[in-house]
Amino acid sequence: MTNHSITPSPNNPRVELINQASLQPFTTFGVSSTCDHLYRIDEIEELRLATQYLEDPLILGGGSNILPMGNITRNVLRVELKGIERVEETDEYALVKIAAGEVWHNVVLWAIDQDLAGIENLSLIPGTTGAAPIQNIGAYGIELSSVFHSLEALELGSGQQKDFLTEDCRFGYRDSIFKNDLRGRMVITSVTLKLSKQHNVHTSYGAIQQTLEEWNIKDPGIRDVSKAVIHIRQSKLPDPAQLGNAGSFFKNPVISASAFEDLKKQYPEIPGYPAGNEVKVPAGWLIETVGWKGKRVGNVGSYAKQALVLVNFGEAKGEDVWAFAQEIIGSVEQKFAIRLVPEVNIWS
């Protein structure tokens, strides 16, 4: 690798290499951790070389869905490609191709400025556009898959470009092929979205409607919905710049309808939402009910306003967060016979 042209040099400003890099500034949990070599790359050909020649790298975007544990003895490749382009137009929609390193929330704001609808409910989700398909980001009843058109990726090892349409991505609830069969095998370089010129806003989920009513907005547009989502999120979620976290630590479990009915007999107040033939149970409610909401052990805690978010009060290590998460998993499993699964990607 070292003799290769992706080696940073004054002639190659598109690659920055940091040896023994601290991952703290590059991940929102803010736990102390290093990696052997951090490559920051903002040019597609350099990225292609890196995917061919770097040995088994971990891929990093905005670091908002990662918990690093200890020092990572691997190469880490941070994708910093930039650019947004309207690549196709009809009267109904625009296809918009977005480079993987674009900050997701900036893309949402850009779309609203362009009067393009479809992602306003996904306002203020941290991270990059390239990571958005990995767990099919979702919030307030909308998932990336609802506006997804295609993506381009580079295969690790061969460096070959691979194109994926919606059906190839096998999107599910906070899930895709990139978390399963293709886990760690593709570097997404761009995502193309099909954004609508017709505006059908979705306000029924969560507190959006209530917020719009409080603001006396009767016929909301996409900008109003985005502002409401931003307002709700800022009032309910910890800002990683102030308090380290990676959003929801666990996925909401999806259980069979019969298992849900059994639980409902014991716990009549248990919330559940239809998920195909099954039922999605809010993990936050389970964690709160077993008593972990707002609890703190050392430097780790469950956030007082949203139990599903685990927070780093400043000096926590990845191992401390993981130990805390195990306690929660144990308590929930003991009481409800439901095993919580982390949504956050654990790096060790």
Q: Which residues bind to ligand NAP, rule: CB under 6 A? A: 138-140, 205-206, 236-237, 247-248, 252, 273, 282, 284, 306, 343
Phi-psi region of 290 (alpha: psi -120 to 50; beta: other; left: phi over 0): alpha
How far from each other are the two terminal CA atoms of the chain, in whole angstroms?
A: 23
- Shortest reach from residue 284's CB to ligand NAP, in Å: 6
174 labelled catalytic: yes
3-state secondary structure (DSSP) of residue 293 = coil
- Closer to ligand FAD by CB, 37 or 336: give it: 37
The angle, 0 to 180 degrees and rounded to 10, between the axes of the packed helices 222-236 and 104-113 is 150
- Shortest reach from residue 213's CB to ligand FAD, in Å: 22
Of 1-9, 245-253, 258-266, 312-320, the window that binds ligand FAD (rule: CB under 6 A) is 245-253
- Closer to ligand FAD by CB, 135 or 302: give it: 135
Catalytic residue among 46, 80, 120, 343: 343
- Closer to ligand NAP by CB, 97 or 293: give it: 293
Residue 156 and residue 187 in contact, taking contact as beta carbons nearer than 8 Å: yes
Characterize the bridge pairing of strands 138-139 and 244-248.
unpaired
Which residue's entry shows tokens 């009513």? Answer: 213
- With residue 259 as reference, give the H or E element that holds it: helix 257-266
CB atoms within 10 A of CB 140: 20
Q: Report which of 65, 109, 99 is spatially closest to residue 193, judged by C-alpha positions.
A: 99
**Is residue 222 at the binding interface for ligand FAD, with CB under 6 A as the rule?**
no
> Residue 244's binding partner, choosing from ligand FAD, ligand NAP, none, with beta-carbon cut-off 5 to 8 A by kind?
none
Residue 251 and residue 341 in contact, taking contact as beta carbons nearer than 8 Å: yes
- Closer to ligand FAD by CB, 107 or 263: give it: 107
- Shortest reach from residue 216's CB to ligand FAD, in Å: 26
Residue closest to ligand FAD, measured at CB: 127
Residue 77 and residue 92 in contact, taking contact as beta carbons nearer than 8 Å: no
- Closer to ligand FAD by CB, 126 or 220: give it: 126
158 labelled catalytic: no
Catalytic residue among 64, 174, 190, 302: 174
**Is residue 138 at the binding interface for ligand FAD, with CB under 6 A as the rule?**
yes
- Write each residue from 96 to 135 as x if it is in contact with ligand FAD (CB under 6 A), else as -, in one continuous string: ----x------------------------xxxx-xxx-xx
**Is residue 63 at the binding interface for ligand FAD, with CB under 6 A as the rule?**
yes
74 labelled catalytic: no
Determine the Cα–Cα distance for residues 252 and 287; give it in Å rounded to an integer.
Answer: 11
- Shortest reach from residue 341's CB to ligand NAP, in Å: 13
CB atoms within 10 A of CB 107: 22
Fill in the DSSP letter of residue 135.
T
- Write each residue from 40 to 59 as x if it is in contact with ligand FAD (CB under 6 A), else as -, in one continuous string: ------------------xx
- Shortest reach from residue 315's CB to ligand FAD, in Å: 19
Which residue among 30, 62, 118, 301 contacts ligand FAD (CB under 6 A)? 62
Catalytic residue among 146, 226, 248, 302: 248
Determine the Cα–Cα distance for residues 276 and 257; give it in Å rounded to an integer.
Answer: 10
Q: Which residues contact 86 (CB under 8 A, 6 or more apart)?
A: 94, 95, 96, 114
Q: Report which of 280, 239, 228 is spatially closest to residue 256, judged by C-alpha positions.
A: 280
Residues in the chain: 348
> Residue 134's binding partner, choosing from ligand NAP, ligand FAD, none, with beta-carbon cut-off 5 to 8 A by kind?
ligand FAD
